[in-house]
Amino acid sequence: MKKGRELKPHIGIFGRRNNGKSTLINFLVGQQVAIVSNTAGTTTDPVKKSVEITGFGPVVLVDTAGIDDKGDLGKLRIEKTLDAIKLIDLAILIIIENQFSIIEENLITEFKKYKTPYFIVHNKCDIEELDLDIMANLELNLETNIISLNAERDIDNTKILQLIAKFLPENSYKQPSILGDLVSYGDIVLLITPIDVEAPAGRLILPQVQTIRDILDNDCVAIVLKEREVDAFLRKTQIQPKLAVTDSQIFLKASASVPKSIPLTSFSILLARLKGEFDHYLQGTPHLENLKDGDRVLLLESCTHHVSCDDIGRVKIPRWITQFSGKKLDFDVVSGLDSLKRPITDYSIIIQCGGCMITSKQLKNRLLPAIEAKVPVTNYGMAIAYLQGVYNRAVEPFTKNISNIDYL
């Protein structure tokens, strides 16, 4: 499946072959955006379609292969269909002719495993109407809703849009504030943004842009400086920012330039709190102290990007960890949301990027196997702060009585 680079709500369409999954997508959108065929297995891999649903808004619809596919190739397609559950915010399960058995039950088990809300559509009602007793039992036992329709012929999609609105988690389309609980009306936030070989030409990186927008949304003032301008600016203006946010790579310099009276954190840590597993990061980060010779470290990048000669994930963090630990370590880097080539238990610690290009649900499901296996997890910014000796200061804006937390 394509890598998760859309921050819109992701809605997955699931069901057996020829149940009308692609037809339902066209019905939702009101136009022909998915290929429809009477040949079973037309959709072979999950396909993402970024669309606008009239009356609802922009979403990403994920058209999946049939969960009853056959043969060795069919098994691979089913695996990709199940992998798609990790990326979505809402699932729509399509059945026809009142067909509901172990195939659908197993799929629902996967929905529940990843805490994915879902509802059921009984399609092709012109062939066979939904049995009311079956409907009542399903709704009662599964604690969800089921509707009957003919996606090929019906015109009014109001009922299914109402169910989407009912089951789609609010946090999938209403992103909470990045720092709204840290600032008040009129506060000044200092943003320290180095312009180096990794900075994109002519623009800022996404976490910096998102933070600036959030500052403005909270009716505050953003002051953006390069790192070498901070000392002179604070000295000449005597401005006392409510908060300073730095790029993680220059934590040491930023910490030296920004007075201790001004709370300091990083863009990556802000994102970690916004959409990651922040409590698990707090517990996992100090495990950087425990690395031994031969340990393996996994760095997770949630997008693909141009790799520079001094890349943060592939070069700098491994170098800093090696210098900090003094151990001979192995490092793996996985970009996007691809499957891992090794069991998660092969790793002594997992270091996740800020995840600015993926949804919170995708990031959390990315880390779920590690958390379940009790493999320590952390975040780029928190790991860098720990390695550079400014960890307590970097997380202090988000914690209370930090000195009393036993894992620090």
Whether residue 159 contacts residue 147, with contact meaning beta carbons closer than 8 Å, is answered with yes
How far is residue 253's CA from residue 387's CA, in Å, rounded to a whole number?
14
From residue 357, alpha-carbon distances to 22, 89, 124, 289 in Å are: 26, 15, 37, 30
Q: Which two tokens stand for residue 142?
A: 């599964």
- Mark the ranges of the chain whose per-residue pLDDT is less than 70: 1-7, 31-45, 55, 196-200, 303-310, 400-408
pLDDT at 407 (0 to 100)? 39
Q: Residue 91: enclosing H or E segment and its boundaries?
A: strand 90-96
Backbone torsion region of residue 98, taken as left when φ is above 0, otherwise alpha when ψ lies between -120 and 50, otherwise beta? left
φ, ψ (nearest 5 deg) of residue 288 = -60, -25
Compute the distance between CA of residue 87 and CA of residue 223 in angstroms, rounded to an integer: 35
Residue type, 5: R
pLDDT of residue 311: 82
Q: What is the pLDDT of residues 107-117, one digit of tens each?
A: 999 999 999 99
Type of residue numbered 89: D
Q: Contact at 8 Å (CB) between 257 and 390?
A: no
CB-based contacts of 108: which residues, under 8 Å, 6+ apart?
Answer: 93, 118, 142
Position 58 scores a pLDDT of 85
In one-letter notation, the amino acid at residue 203 is R
- Beta pairing, strands 118-123 & 90-96: parallel
Predicted pLDDT of residue 175: 73
Q: Copy the structure tokens of residue 231.
A: 């000392």
Q: Which domains does the chain have, with CATH numbers?
A: 10-172 (3.40.50.300), 188-269 (3.40.50.11420), 278-404 (3.40.50.11410)
Question: pLDDT (tens digit, 9 = 90+) per residue, 178-223?
Answer: 999 999 999 999 999 988 656 667 778 888 999 999 999 999 999 9
Amino acid 189: pLDDT: 97
pLDDT at 408: 40
| CA-closest candidate to residue 373, choices 347, 335, 406 | 347
Q: Is 203 helix (H, G, I), strand (E, B) or coil?
A: coil
**Closest listed residue to residue 291, CA positions, set 342, 330, 344, 327:** 327
